[in-house]
Chains A and B, each alone.
Chain A
């Protein structure tokens, strides 16, 4: 079964840092581009970042550019999101998802909640 499991969320003060992880199983992780998408409480979906399968190319939403870094360790089947200089508006559930042919995002992990508050 194809599965993505996020972890690393929690409560962090404004200006703090956090690293999220997403462990993949059930497929050859190194063959796929991966994304992070977030959802603020009670709000819609917001794309955050994308990384190519070998980690060579990354893209970011303007709202996180310069503060967040996406990376991956294909030997560990793990995707990461390093989040620095966190702001209250970064409070959200963060999902990782796989990019498959026909530009589909399938599946999505269960999400991990990040709360930025003092």
Chain B
């Protein structure tokens, strides 16, 4: 199975800050890397697919980059509504695996 290592596990930042989360795959997954946002009590929502493509309707302050084994997710200017847990997910091969999540809080 491909292991996804996400860091940090939690993050506190101020409104307007630039926030970056990293995700490392245990083997080359090409660009088959997605990022999801999960707000409290809600289902996950896709933000970024194929490592760097913004899902339709998602604000442009969200972005992603990377390929192979190393990936990053960035919020360019943190907003109060961005409070959530963020997960990376690989879909290069089954089983699909997720990072352990990054809990983002507003300072």
Tell whether A and B belong to one assembly.
yes
Interface SS majority for chain A: strand
Q: How far is the CA of A106 from the CA of B46 in the complex (A)?
A: 7
- Interchain CB contact under 8 A, A46 and B34: no
Is the beta-carbon distance between A47 and B96 smaller than 8 angstroms?
Answer: yes
Q: With both chains docked as a complex, state the minimum distance between the C-beta of B46 and any C-beta of chain A, in angstroms.
A: 5
Q: A103-B34, A104-B55, A105-B34 known; A45 and B46 CB under 8 Å?
A: no
A47 touches B97 (CB 8 A): yes
Contact with A along B11-52 (1 / 0, CB 8 A): 000000000000000000000101010100011111001100
* Given known A-B contacts A103-B34, A104-B34, A105-B34, A47 and B98 have beta carbons under 8 A apart: yes
| Selected interface stretch from A8-16, A73-81, A107-115 | A107-115
- Which positions 65-107 of chain B face chain A at CB distance < 8 Å? 87, 89, 91, 94-101
Q: In residues 11-64 of chain A, which contact B (Cβ within 8 Å)?
A: 35, 37, 44-47, 50, 59, 61-62
Would B43 and A108 count as touching, CB distance under 8 A? Answer: yes
Least Cβ–Cβ distance between B50 and chain A, in angstroms: 5
Q: Is the CB of B53 within 8 A of A102?
A: yes
Residues of chain B with a CB closer than 8 A to A61's CB? 95
Q: Which of A59, A95, A108, A109 has the most CB of B within 10 A?
A: A108
Interface residues of B (CB under 8 A from A): 32, 34, 36, 38, 42-46, 49-50, 53, 55, 87, 89, 91, 94-101
List residues of chain A with CB under 8 Å of any chain B CB. Answer: 35, 37, 44-47, 50, 59, 61-62, 95, 102-111
